[in-house]
Amino acid sequence: MKNIAKTILILALIAVYIIGMLSFISPVSVSADYIILYPGDQGNVKVKVENNENFDMKDISISLVLSSVSSTGTVTSLPFNVIGSSSKDLDDLDNGDDDSATFTIKASTEITPGDYNIPYVVTYINKDTSSTKQEQGTFGIRVSAKTDLDFGVESTNNIIWQQGKITLEIINRGLGDIKSVSVEVTPEGYDLISKEKIFVGTINAEDSDTASWDILFTDQNAELNAKITYNDFDNNKQTKMINLPIQVYTQQEALDLGLIQKSHTTLYFVIVILLVIIWFIYRRIRKARKKRAKEAGR
């Protein structure tokens, strides 16, 4: 008897739990297409509404709520606009039926890329009780960022057969960060003294970073040939090949432009040698004079 009572109690608790859970299940199920927009772009979102209840529904509508007003009167708006109406009427739905509505959503040109939730409200009338009900929820969309990179190269001591440095500047002009940036250079017109591949890391939106190599210039026709790999805003791996010319001067061109000063080392060396020779000649002449004077005095 105790086991039977215990079993009945457990079944009763399970029934209460199931009934309690059912009371939290929404009468309508809403699903939407997951779309990706770019700042200033627009796209269509198809939203499906399904009747999950055991009663029929009529006068159904779904509305997107892109702004709200707080108790203090402050208006908070999402950086989106609905092209056309933000509210759509649906067909009556019997139990298990579904219908859908399509909204055209445009992202603001100033929007920050990222994931956003779009609030909605579904309003319907229960045909059995003629009572009006509302269900609220959200669906997600993503605002991505197009990658827009620019490059510049600078060189120092860029004179043939001299050691110098080249620096690549990577400029992220897009609205989204790029990550895991690395640069691998293929020498042309110079020999590398430092390593070929450099890891840069993350370059934030509207920012820049650099990679530098120590080199020995061997030719006037030098180029920075580099492969840039990175992960874009959506974490997709990307590769960019660049070829940028490098200005390299001959020794004479560098002298003419005042980039270097003419070396006077050889001249100084010759002068020192001449002074040493003159000194030795002077000593010999002096000794000879002393000797003649000494002999004349005897």
Domain ranges of the chain: 26-143, 149-256
User: What's the whole-number mean pLDDT along residues 200-222?
Assistant: 95
What pTM, to 2 d.p., does this model score?
0.68
- Please give the pLDDT value at position 93: 92
Q: How confident is the model at residue 253 (pLDDT cuts 50, 70, 90)?
A: confident
The mean pLDDT value of the chain amounts to: 86
Q: How confident is the model at residue 19 (pLDDT cuts 50, 70, 90)?
A: very low
Which CATH superfamily groups domain 149-256?
Immunoglobulins (2.60.40.10)
Residue 104 backbone dihedrals phi, psi, to 5 degrees? -100, 115
User: What's the whole-number mean pLDDT along residues 254-259?
Assistant: 68
Q: What angle (nearest 5°) sits at the alpha carbon of residue 124, between those of residues 120 and 128?
A: 155
Please say if the pLDDT value at position 296 is more than 90: no
| CA distances for 43 relative to 136, 143, 228, angstroms | 22, 11, 32
Please say if the pLDDT value at position 105 is more than 80: yes
User: What's the whole-number mean pLDDT along residues 223-232?
Assistant: 97
- CATH architecture for segment(s) 26-143: Sandwich (2.60)
- Please give the pLDDT value at position 84: 95
Question: For 112, which DSSP code?
Answer: P
CA–CA distance, 190 with 196 (Å, rounded to integer): 12
Whole-number percent of the chain with pLDDT over 90: 66
| CATH topology match: 26-143 vs 149-256 | yes
